[in-house]
C-alpha cells in the first residue's frame, strides 16, 4: 500500500488544524488553562479532545501544511481558540472584579493571595468568589458544555483561510465591556450596604469626636462585610449558570458573525 505526500499532508492537517484551535482554547480559558495545571497535562487533554473532535470537524482545505496558506490557516485557528478562551475568562473576571470591589470596601483590599488561574495576586474576596465559581462551573458540567461549543465551532466557522469576521471581533470587544456591568450587579447589594455602614460611622465620628472611629469602624466593617458576603453567596453562585450560558451564546455570535 502506497500513500502520496498529498494524502499524508491531508491526514496530518485534518488533525493538526483542529488541535491548534483546541489547544489555544485550553491555554487561554479559565478553569482549563489555570497555572496550577501542568502544561504537559493540558497538552495531553488537548490531544485527547482533538482525537475525538477531529473527525467531526468536517472536510479540511486542500492546502499544503507548510505553505503560506497553511500558516495562515494555522494562525486563524489559534485566534479562534484564543477568542473562545477569552470569553470564558471574562465570565470569571466578572466575579473577580465584584470580589475586588467588595474587598476594598470591607478593608481587605490589601489582603491578597496568589491566584492559581492567572499566577498573579488578587484580593482574598475575589479569590473566594473565583474558587467557589469554579466548583459551581464544574458541578453544572460547564466544562462539557464548553467542549460541546468547541465541536459546534467547526460547523459555525470551519477550518479555512477565513477567520473571525470584523463584526465578530467587535462583538467580542462589546462582550468584554459587559463584564463591568455584571460585576457591578453582583457586588451592588454588599457595596450598597457597606456604603451605608461607612456613612453611619462618618456621622458617628462627627457627633462623637472623642470616639476613635478607625479602631471601631475597621473591625465592624469587616465583620458586617463578611456577614453580607455569606448572606449573598447563594445568589452570587446562582449567577454562574446564566453567565456561562451567556458566554456560550456570545461564542456563537462571535463565530457566526459575517456569515
Residues 6+ positions from 23 with CB-CB distance below 8 Å:
42, 43, 46, 50, 81
Per-residue pLDDT at 84: 85
Q: Summarize pLDDT for 4-55 with one digit per residue, the tens.
A: 555 666 666 677 788 888 888 888 877 776 766 777 878 888 888 888 887 7
Q: Summarize pLDDT for 141-188 with one digit per residue, the tens.
A: 888 888 888 888 888 888 777 777 777 778 887 887 788 888 888 888
- Report helix, strand or coil for 164: coil
Structural contact between residues 206 and 168, judged by C-beta atoms closer than 8 angstroms: no
pTM flag (> 0.75): yes
Residues 6+ positions from 139 with CB-CB distance below 8 Å:
none
Per-residue pLDDT at 91: 84
Q: Summarize pLDDT for 54-86 with one digit per residue, the tens.
A: 777 777 777 777 777 778 888 888 888 888 888
Tell me the CB-side half-sphere exposure of residue 51, using CA atoms within 13 A: 5
Q: Could you tell me the pLDDT band of residue 239, with boundaries at 50, 70 and 90? A: confident
Per-residue pLDDT at 134: 84
Between CA 222 and CA 228 the distance in angstroms is 10
Structural contact between residues 173 and 212, judged by C-beta atoms closer than 8 angstroms: no
% of the chain exceeding 90 in pLDDT: 0
Between CA 73 and CA 88 the distance in angstroms is 23
Q: Summarize pLDDT for 190-209 with one digit per residue, the tens.
A: 888 888 887 877 777 777 76
Per-residue pLDDT at 64: 72
Per-residue pLDDT at 211: 65
Between CA 92 and CA 204 the distance in angstroms is 38
User: Residue 225's Cα: distance from chain center in Å?
Assistant: 26
Q: Could you tell me the pLDDT band of residue 217, with boundaries at 50, 70 and 90? A: low
Per-residue pLDDT at 6: 57
Q: H/E element holding 166?
A: helix 166-207
- Which of 128, 164, 150 has its CA nearest to residue 142? 150
Between CA 53 and CA 163 the distance in angstroms is 19
55 DSSP assignment? G
Between CA 198 and CA 220 the distance in angstroms is 10
122 DSSP assignment? E
Structural contact between residues 85 and 33, judged by C-beta atoms closer than 8 angstroms: yes
Per-residue pLDDT at 10: 61
> Residue 134 corresponds to which cell in the numbers above?
469554579
**Is residue 112 scored above 70 in pLDDT?**
no
Q: How many CB atoms sit inside 10 A of residue 105's CB?
A: 21
Per-residue pLDDT at 111: 58
Q: Parallel, antiparallel, or unpaired: how do β-strands 112-114 and 121-123 relate?
A: antiparallel
Per-residue pLDDT at 204: 72
Amino acid at each position: 500500500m502506497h500513500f502520496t505526500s498529498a494524502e499524508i499532508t491531508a491526514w496530518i492537517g485534518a488533525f493538526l488544524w483542529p488541535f491548534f484551535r483546541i489547544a489555544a482554547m485550553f491555554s487561554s480559558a479559565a478553569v482549563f488553562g489555570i497555572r496550577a495545571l501542568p502544561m504537559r497535562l493540558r497538552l495531553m487533554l488537548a490531544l485527547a479532545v482533538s482525537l475525538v473532535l477531529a473527525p467531526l470537524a468536517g472536510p479540511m482545505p486542500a492546502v499544503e501544511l507548510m505553505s503560506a496558506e497553511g500558516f495562515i490557516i494555522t494562525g486563524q485557528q489559534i485566534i479562534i481558540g484564543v477568542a473562545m478562551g477569552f470569553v470564558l475568562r471574562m465570565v470569571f473576571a466578572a466575579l473577580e472584579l465584584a470580589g475586588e470591589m467588595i474587598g476594598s470596601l470591607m478593608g481587605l483590599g490589601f489582603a491578597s493571595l496568589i491566584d492559581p488561574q492567572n499566577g498573579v495576586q488578587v484580593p482574598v474576596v475575589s479569590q473566594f468568589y473565583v474558587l467557589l465559581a469554579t466548583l459551581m462551573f464544574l458541578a453544572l458540567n460547564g466544562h462539557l458544555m464548553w467542549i460541546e461549543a468547541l465541536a459546534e465551532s467547526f460547523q459555525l466557522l470551519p477550518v479555512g483561510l477565513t477567520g473571525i469576521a470584523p463584526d465578530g471581533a467587535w462583538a467580542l470587544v462589546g462582550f468584554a465591556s459587559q463584564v463591568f456591568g455584571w460585576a457591578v450587579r453582583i457586588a451592588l447589594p454588599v457595596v450598597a450596604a457597606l456604603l451605608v455602614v461607612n456613612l453611619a460611622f462618618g456621622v458617628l465620628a462627627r457627633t462623637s469626636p472623642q470616639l476613635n472611629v478607625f479602631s471601631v469602624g475597621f473591625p465592624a466593617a469587616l465583620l458586617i462585610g463578611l456577614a453580607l458576603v455569606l448572606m449573598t453567596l447563594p445568589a452570587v453562585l446562582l449567577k454562574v449558570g446564566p453567565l456561562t450560558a451567556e458566554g456560550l451564546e456570545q461564542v456563537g455570535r462571535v463565530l457566526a458573525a459575517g456569515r
